[in-house]
Structure 1
Amino acid sequence: MSRPEDSREEERDARVPGGRPIFVIQKHDATTLHYDFRLEVDGVLKSWAIPRGPSTDPKERRLAIPIEDHPLDYADFEGIIPEGRYGAGTVMVWDRGAYQNLTRKDGQEVPVAGAIGRGHVSVWLEGEKVRGGYAL
């Protein structure tokens, strides 16, 4: 079932002041415990699995494995994915907030979708637990 674009926009605006794009980190206790990092990009959540979880130390690097895009509504999901379904296990929102694109080339901002497509995106996260500059 699809919803009109404007209702999705209103929903996003209610989640993050100023209508800025969101990020969410979900703790996912599936086959193995990991964290899913998601960025709102062009109406979907671009997603990566982070096996060791996020770090609050900017000097510490973590593996981020690209996974399938998720719908924007998934940013609010907390609960149990039933046995037998892809990703079965418990999901909880670990952190969320707004983000700002920091990706630049020759002094110009590179759109997030293009930066992801080229394999490198830099963002400033403004969450409750995670705050600061990160690169994927």
Structure 2
Amino acid sequence: MARPAFVLHDHRKPRPHFDLRLEEDGVLRSWAVPRGLPTDPRGNRLAVAVPDHAMDHLAYTDSDKSIADTGWWEQEDRNDKRIVFTLHGLRGAHRYALIHTDGSNWLLHRTKDQPQY
């Protein structure tokens, strides 16, 4: 069974931001992350849910969008308010939690416990 893919796009327009896209049910679930993925467990980043994208966005680039990271992801825990997952990308594996706050707003949090490989 194939592992679900992810891509992190670096967008330069209309304002610089990142798009986190996780493969699920044949589409890429997507969040706009204005300040990029958190690198420290003491800070959270706003993540705004945006419409799902087609799978061809895994490799999509253009003059305003490049791929910042790509690989596969694994879900570790999930309920109506939270998704805990590990991204296995080009620069290693990192565990995050997406925490639903309201409407389309989520917080993206890098967990204190990180994978040891």
Question: Which of 32, 37, 51 is the equivalent residue of 1:49?
Answer: 32
Alignment CA distance shift 1:37-1:130 (3 Å):
farther
Query: Which residue does the alignment assign to 1:92?
Result: 66
> Which one of the candidate residues 13, 20, 34 is aligned to 1:37?
20
Deviation >4 Å, runs of 4+:
none
Instruction: Provide the rounded CA distance (Å) in 2 between the counterparts of 1:130 and 1:54.
Output: 14
Larger radius of gyration, structure 1 or 2?
A: 1
Which residue in the other structure is 2:108 paired with? none
What displacement does 1:57 show? 2.4
Per chain length, whose mean CA-contact separation is higher, i.e. which structure has more relative contact order (CA < 8 Å, sep 6+)? 2
Aligned residues: CA RMSD: 1.5
User: How far apart, CA to CA, are the structure 1 residues paired with 2:69 and 2:96?
Assistant: 15
Identity %: 37
Distance in 1 (CA, whole Å) between partners of 2:75 and 2:24 is 11
Answer 1 or 2: which has greater strand percent: 2
Distance 2:75 2:35 in 1: 24
Q: Which amino acid aligns with 2:53?
A: H
The normalised TM-score by structure 2 is 0.77
Gaps of 5+ in 2: 99-117
Distance 1:130 1:26, change over 3 A: farther
What is the TM-score with the length of structure 1 in the denominator?
A: 0.67
Unpaired runs of 5+ residues, structure 1, are 1-17, 81-89, 104-109
Which of 73, 84, 97 aligns to 1:135? It is 97
Match of 1:124 among 86, 91, 95: 86
What is the CA distance between 1:61 and its match in structure 2?
1.2
SS in 2 for 1:79: coil
Per-residue deviation at 1:133? 0.9
Aligned residue for 2:75?
101
Q: 1:62 aligns with which of 45, 52, 55?
A: 45
Distance in 1 (CA, whole Å) between partners of 2:42 and 2:22 is 21
Deviation at 1:129, TM superposition (A): 3.1
Q: Which residue of 2 aligns with 1:85?
A: none
TM superposition shift of 1:39 = 0.3
Contact 1:51–1:63 (Cα < 8 Å) also in 2: yes
Would you say how many aligned residue pairs link Structure 1 and Structure 2? 98
